[in-house]
Structures are given as C-alpha cells and as structure tokens.
Amino acid sequence: MRKWISFPHKAGTVSRQAHADLPEEAIYEREAGRSGFFGPAAHFHHRHPPTGWSEWQGPLRPRALDLNRQSERASIPWQVPAFLYNRHCQMRLWQLDGDMTELMRNADGDELMFIHAGRAELYCDYGHMTLESGDYLMMPRSTMWRLEVLEPLQILMIEATGDSFQLPDKGLVGPHAIFDPAMLDLPQINDRFLAQQDETPWRVNIKRLGEFSSVSYPFNPLDAIGWHGDLAPVRINWRQIRPLMSHRYHLPPSAHTTFVASRFVVCTFVPRPIESDPGALKVPFYHNNDDFDEVLFYHAGDFFSRDNIEAGMVTFHPCGFTHGPHPKAFAAGLAHAKKFTDEVAVMVDTRDPLVLSDQAKALENPDYANSWQVTE
C-alpha cells in the first residue's frame, strides 16, 4: 500500500480557493499536481506569467502539428504512420476517399475512431450503422469491419495498444452525467446489413504486433444473422455530450473525460457557458505536466485558450514544464470578453512519454513555443 505524503500548508500571500479570488498583486496562478488532477497539488501565485519564457531549446518544447498538410493515404489505416505513439497508445489521422474493398481487424487493441470529417456506412461483425462527422466509434479489439464512404473521411484513430477502452467513474455526479450510457448507439442487424452478405471472395487484413497478415474467404465473413451479449462497438457524437459546468469555478480537464484506458484518458471539450463569478478563472489555469503528456486535436470552433490554431491541428505538450493559455486568451479571460465557448476538441493524456514520428515533425510549426511571448 502507498499513500501520498499529505500536509496541507499555506505560505505567503495566497487565495483560500484554488482558481478563484486570486491576490491582486499576483494574478497568475500555477498548479503543480500529481496523478493528473486527482493527486496532491500545490498552487503558486506569481507576479509574471509562468509561460513568459524568452527562448526554448531542446526536445521538450511544446509542439503544434498541422495535420491538414498530411499527404499519406492508405487503404489499410494502420499503414498511415502514427503522429504520436508509445507502447500503450498510437494516434494517427486516416483519410479515406472511397469504399473499402477489404475488411480490417486490429488484434493489437481497442480502436477509438473520431470522425473529424465526412460520412460513411459501417459494416462490422455486429451489424451496420451510419457514421457522421463528430462521432466517436469505439471498436473492440479484433472486430472485423469496413466502411462505405458517403463523403470523404478524415478519422482520428486512437489505439489502446494491448488494452481496452472503458467509461470513466463519474463519482459524485452519478453514472448518467456528461452522457447517459443509454445514449451509446450500437450496430444493428438490419436489412442493409443482411443485403451486403454475399458469396463473393473477401480478404481480411489483420494487424498484430504492428505486422500485417491477410486471410481470404470465398464468401463475405460479415454473415452474422444475430448476436447477443455485452461486448460491441459503441458510438456517441460530441453533440450528445453534456459537459459538467460551474459558474463559480473553472473545472479541470479531467471533468470532461469520455473514455479511459489503463495508461491514458480521452477527454472531449464541447461548447459551454464560461464561468460568470467575478473571482473565478475564465480560461484554463496554468499547470505543470508532472505525470502526463498532453495532446489536443482541434475539431471545430474557436479555440479560446490558443492563438492561430485551426481545425485539424494538434498541440503536444510533453511532461515536464508549465503551460496554459496564450497571452491574448488570458487577457480576454480577465476582461470576461466571451460568455460562451464554441470549441470542440479531443484531448489525450498519457501516463507514458509519447514519441513524435518523423512524418509528424515535417508537419510542425517550429515557432509554436514562442507563441506565449507577449508582443506589443
């Protein structure tokens, strides 16, 4: 058994409540915490912004990638290089313009797909469903599937390598907060699914340990006429997520957790009212990355804590330094210039260090680390 060393203490000039009613002479608050936002924490009050660096050198710097510039195409999604990866997680953007003519199966782990753009018909072991922009699709490990494209697709794929995706424990707010599990849609054995069953040859591409095998059938192996149980792909759209909110307190990103794996979490930021209490922070607070690498994929809207970030871009903040809102966003928060956020973003926080692929380095904005500098 282990237990955090705990000794609540105060020194100097402090606020009694974290993220609210900050001292007038030190309006910059920084949180240093452990276990994401669930462990012990210290809150510092600074005279200068903790991100007010004048220069960055070395590989730890914050990164911004423009995946809109990615040119790789592949009929097998896992042949597109992951832009960030470690032993427990892989992230890639897969673009698909036409119908799949072969089936896929990922034997390395559950796959979470976020439809960034496009529409498609999904056919899998469990039946059929239509996918729309903004959908999450959680595909259990080793499920066979294919897509018929209705509109060209861009899909953020997040693999839980050797692992599974589960729902978070929602604690005091209860299991129906954020989204009710009854909101999860499942594929159906419907007329459309039965109609695609035929006796023509099909091939299944299987990924295991990062290598590919193929199995050929003289018939379509998606030939189930029914199934029962409690294992299946599930879908939910970000528009069906009802975020936790507090008009008096800026909630940490962990309040927006959507799916969890053993070594990382996936959170969803969706539009919500901005805090209205005069003393409450209106933008994300400055905080250290002390146990997690943080990745944000920007889907839609105006990303209120960042400058010059557009849909289809990714920011990557490795563990080990303080980050937070850009200067313009912080100033707008102090002025309460916005009453509502309209951003939609997918966040992945990993306990293990992520590696930036060589392909992703070519998509990087090298000046991103300088974007926290105050310009006149």
Known binding residue 110? Answer is no
**Cβ contact 96:155 at 8 Å:** yes
DSSP state of 32: E
Residue 250 annotated to the active site: yes
* Dist. CA 221–CA 203, nearest whole Å: 9
List Cβ<8 Å contacts ≥24 apart for 336-342.
336/274, 336/276, 336/282, 338/274, 338/282, 338/304, 339/273, 339/274, 339/276, 340/271, 340/272, 340/273, 340/274, 341/269, 341/271, 341/272, 341/274, 341/301, 341/302, 341/304, 342/271, 342/301, 342/302
Residues 6+ apart with CB under 8 A from 215: 203, 204, 206
**Cβ contact 279:363 at 8 Å:** no
* Active-site entry in 19, 43, 250, 317: 250
Q: φ and ψ at 291, to 5 degrees?
A: -135, -10
Question: With b meaning 16 or more CB within 10 Å and e meaning fewer, what string describes 197-223?
Answer: eeeeebebbbbeeeeeeeeeeeebbbe
DSSP-derived pairing of the beta strands 109-124 and 127-131: antiparallel
Give the length of the chain. Answer: 376
Known binding residue 287? Answer is yes
**Residues annotated within a binding site for homogentisate:** 323
**Residues annotated within a binding site:** 287, 293, 323
**Residues annotated within a binding site for Fe cation:** 287, 293, 323
Q: Which residues are catalytic?
A: 250
